[in-house]
Amino acid sequence: MFGRYLVKRLPYMMLVLFGISLLIFFLARVMPGDPARLALGPEATQEQVQALRHRLGLDQPLYTQYYVFVKGLLKGELGMSLVTKRDVSKDLIQRLPATLELVAVAMTIAILGGIPLGMLSALHKDRTIDQLSRVFAFAGVSFPRFWIGIMFQIGIAYTLGLLPITGRISGDPPAHMTGLYLLDSVLTRNLAAFMDSFKHMVLPAVTLSLSPLAQITRLIRASMIEELRKDYTIVSRTIGMPENLNIYKYMLKNAFTATLTVIGLLVGWLIGNAFIVEQVFSWPGMARYGVNSVLRNDFNAVVGVTLVIGVGYVFINFIVDLLYGYLDPRIRLKK
């Protein structure tokens, strides 16, 4: 029953992934600008540029290039980075956990903070806490991430000295198990490393989480208010359901389900803005690597990063879809 739902979505996903690879490839190879020239800079001679072009296979016809590209993809190769001189996939694997950790923590903050705040606002509609959360929500989505990050750095890190200004860890990282420092320190019972990573994580994660937190708050609030008006809410209250059970179980599940689709989008947003936050806090993640690759015209790296993100994003949306189907029986049971 559930499997059928999965199977329906799979070919669609494949099509989308194929499209992504096409799109990225197209962008990288066909747009104006000569990658080899851009990489070597204006001082390079024509022969050097030609040589690089040949090495990168840029003088081949497009379809051959694409074929080579996909072949490499399937083998897990993403070409060579012009900056680090290593295989891009190695660079990515090294840096992916940092970004993953940051995004995951930010999302957790946004959800764990947004749901209670949204519920409080809905249940005390138009009163002080609602007005305050409203102001906070507007501010939260309007803050430029880079600016608020910098403000935090000046205010909290520098002036008050409470937290480190940049970086992911000051001392030694915990023994490598997943690459996620917080998790690894817990798994290896390394309290010092945990505290260290935790302190470094606070500012970047909070900066990144502000906008999704605000959005989730508003969304939960709106959904809960709608739930309060629904017939089934009033009926179950009338026929004897305890009020707090009605709120925290029955209404909340409906409200959360409505929010789920947005959460998928928010993950995409988080990934995009991780690029900025990682820059501000010198966070050694994949996103920062991506930005530097863009700034240095390191094409293979740019393509690699985009591909990983694209695939990851499709995957996450798929999971969100599954979750949605699981939570809302109307979706999976309607023939």
Partner 1 sequence: MEQVLRRKEKGNLARAFYRFKKNPLSLIGLGIILTMVLIAIFAPFIAPYPGDAGGAVHFKEMFQSPSWKHSFGTDEVGRDVLSRIIFGSRISLTLGIVVLSVAVGVGIPLGLFAGYFGGKVETVIMRITDIFLSIPPLVLALVVTAVLERNLQNSMFAIAFTWWPWYARLAYGQTLSKKEEDFVEVSESLGASRLYIIFGEILPNMTSPLLVKITLDMGYAILAGAALGFLGLGAQPPTPEWGTLVSLGRVHLPKMWWLSTFSGLAIFVTVLGFNLLGDGLRDFFDVEVD
Partner 2 sequence: MGVRNTILNIEGLKVHFDTLDGTSRVLDGVELSVREGEVVGLVGETGCGKSITAKTILRSLPMPPGRIIEGEILFLGDNLLELSREEGHQVMSKKMSYIPQDPMTSLNPVFSVGEEMGDLIRWHGRRRLGPLELMGLRRRHDNSIAKAVELLDRVKIPAPREIIGRYPVELSGGMRQRVLIAMALIGYSSLLIADEPTTALDVTIQKGILELIEEKVKEEELSVLYITHNLGVARRLCDRIYVMYAGTIAETAKTQDLLDNPKHPYTSGLISSIPKLTGDEFKGIDGRIPDYIDPPSGCRFHPRCPEVMEICEQEKPELVKVGGGRLVACHLFSTGGES
Binding positions for partner 2, rule: CB under 8 A: 230-245, 248-250, 253-254, 257, 327-330, 333-334
C-alpha radius of gyration, the chain, whole number: 24
User: Alpha-carbon distance 280 to 291, whole Å?
Assistant: 12
User: In the set 2, 6, 14, 19, which binds partner 1 (CB under 8 A)?
Assistant: 19
Half-sphere exposure of 205 (CA within 13 A, CB side): 24
Number of chain residues interacting with partner 1 (CB under 8 A) = 53
Q: Which long-range contacts (CB under 8 A, 24 or more apart) does 16-22 make?
A: 16/314, 17/310, 17/311, 17/314, 20/307, 20/310, 20/311, 20/314, 21/69, 21/70, 21/73, 21/307, 22/66
Q: Decide which of partner 1, partner 2, none touches 141; Cβ closer than 5 to 8 Å per partner kind.
A: partner 1
Interface of this chain with partner 1, residues 134 to 163, rule: CB under 8 A: 134, 138-139, 141-148, 150-151, 153-154, 158-159
For residue 175, which of 161, 187, 160, 163 has the smallest C-alpha distance? 187
Question: Where do we find the tokens 């399937």?
Answer: 74
Q: Does 302 contact partner 1 by CB under 8 A? A: yes
Question: In 10 A of CB 225, how many CB atoms?
Answer: 16
For residue 275, the partner it binds in partner 2, partner 1, none, with Cβ less than 5 to 8 A by kind, is: partner 1
Name which position in 304, 317, 320, 321 contacts partner 1 (CB under 8 A).
Answer: 317
234 binds, among partner 2, partner 1, none (CB under 5 to 8 A by kind): partner 2
How far, rounded to the nearest angstrom, does the alpha carbon of residue 18 sit from its chain's CA centroid?
A: 21
Residue 331 engages partner 1 in binding (rule: CB under 8 A): no
Closest CA relative to residue 276, chosen from 210, 334, 214: 210
Residue 230 Cβ, how far from partner 2 at the closest point, in Å?
Answer: 7
Q: Which does 334 bind (CB under 5 to 8 A by kind): partner 1, partner 2, none?
A: partner 2
**Chain position carrying tokens 């690597």:** 289
Residue of 6, 23, 187, 331 interacting with partner 1 (CB under 8 A): 23
> From partner 2, partner 1, none, which one binds at residue 231 (CB under 5 to 8 Å depending on kind)?
partner 2
Report d(CA 123, CA 142) in Å as an integer. 25
- Binding residues for partner 1, per CB under 8 A? 15-16, 19-20, 22-24, 27-28, 31-33, 35, 134, 138-139, 141-148, 150-151, 153-154, 158-159, 268-269, 271-273, 275-276, 279-280, 290-291, 293-295, 297, 299, 302, 306, 309-310, 313-314, 317
